[in-house]
Amino acid sequence: MEQERQRQKKDRKQAKTGSGGTSAKLRGLPKDSHETRISKTVSWILRHGSQAEGLAMRPDGYVCVDELLKSPKMREVDFATLQELVKKDNKNRFNLLFEPDKNSSSTKEVWWIRANQGHSMKSVVLDLQPIGSLADIPTGIAVHGTTRKAWEIIRDQGISKMSRNHIHLAQGVAGSGVISGMRSSSQVLIFIDVQKAIDAGFLSPQFFARVETADRKPLLGWEGTQDVQKAAAVMKDVDTTVETTVVSESAKPLSECSEEEIVEKKTDV
C-alpha cells in the first residue's frame, strides 16, 4: 500500500516537472532525450502495458497504430514521428505492418506495430523456430549480456526469464555494432554451452561455458570449454549482424518440454 502511494506521489511530481507538458506522460529518465523517452514508452506499451493502456493486441503482438497514438502517453506523438522512430532504431525493436484489420468487415488497410521481442504477456505468440542442436545457430554462439550487480545473483542461481516470456541471447558479440537481444550497457558477457543447455532445457550456471567483462577479458573462475573459447576468440574480430536466440526457462528435459519451453531461435528480429 505504501509503495503504491509513493508511486502515485512520484507520478504527480513528474507531471508537474515534465518539459513541454508531454514528457511527463512518457517513460524514461529526466536525462533522456525526447526521442529516447518516446522509444521507451512505445517499448513498454507493446511489451508489457497494452492492457493497462486499453489497447487490443493481436496474438502475434501487433496493435493498431491509430489506437496506440490515442493512448494518453502517446497523444502528442504523430504517425510520422513513430515511423521515424522505427526507421532509425538500429536495434530493430519494432516492426510496422500495413494490412487490413482481420477483425473488421472493412477491407481498408491500416497500420500495425509490434515489439519484436521482450514481451511479458503470455498471450503473445511470436514466430519462433525451435532449435534442436547447436548446428541450428549460424554462429554457433549464444551470449547473454547483463550487469555486474545481476551477475552476483546469476552466477549462483542461473539465468531466469523473470517476468518475460523468454530469455534473450545474442548470437555473437559485435565489435562496434548494436546487437538486438543485448543491452549496450551490458557489463558482463555470459557465453552459453548451447548443446548442454538444449539437452537440459534450462540455464543453470553449470552451462556457462565462458564469462567475460564488456572489454572481452575473462572473469576468473569461468574459463569455459575449448570450443566456446575458440568461437569467442573469433567473434572478437568479427562485427556480425546477428539475430536473437531465446531459451525458455524450464527444469525439465527437452524431450518433455512443451513447444513454448523449447530452446528457440528468433527469426523475425
Kindly indicate whether the domain formed by 15-115 is annotated with CATH number 3.30.70.1450: no
pLDDT digits (tens, 9 = 90+) for 131-141: 677 787 777 77
pLDDT digits (tens, 9 = 90+) for 82-124: 999 998 887 778 889 888 776 666 667 789 998 877 666 655 5
**C-alpha distances out from residue 57 to 84, 93, 129, 166, Å:** 22, 17, 22, 19
Q: Which helix (H) or strand (E) holds 128?
A: strand 128-130
**What is the rounded distance in angstroms from the CA atom of residue 11 to the CA atom of residue 14?**
5
**What does the mean pLDDT of the chain come to?**
69
pLDDT digits (tens, 9 = 90+) for 231-247: 445 444 433 333 334 44
**Which of these, 24, 21, 74, 32, lies nearest to 49 by C-alpha position?**
74
Query: What pLDDT does 262 receive?
Result: 33
**Mean pLDDT for the stretch of residues 52-64:** 84
**What is the rounded distance in angstroms from the CA atom of residue 225 to the CA atom of residue 231?**
10
**233 neighbors 212 (Cβ within 8 angstroms):** no
Q: Within the chain, which residue ranges are assigned CATH 3.20.170.30?
A: 128-266
**210 neighbors 223 (Cβ within 8 angstroms):** yes
pLDDT digits (tens, 9 = 90+) for 66-88: 999 998 888 889 999 999 999 88
Query: What pLDDT does 242 receive?
Result: 34
Q: Which helix (H) or strand (E) holds 63?
A: strand 63-64
Q: Quick check: 175 pLDDT over 50?
A: yes
**Mean pLDDT for the stretch of residues 188-197:** 85
Q: Within the chain, which residue ranges are assigned CATH 1.10.10.970?
A: 15-115
Q: Which helix (H) or strand (E) holds 191?
A: strand 188-192
CATH code of the domain made up of 128-266: 3.20.170.30
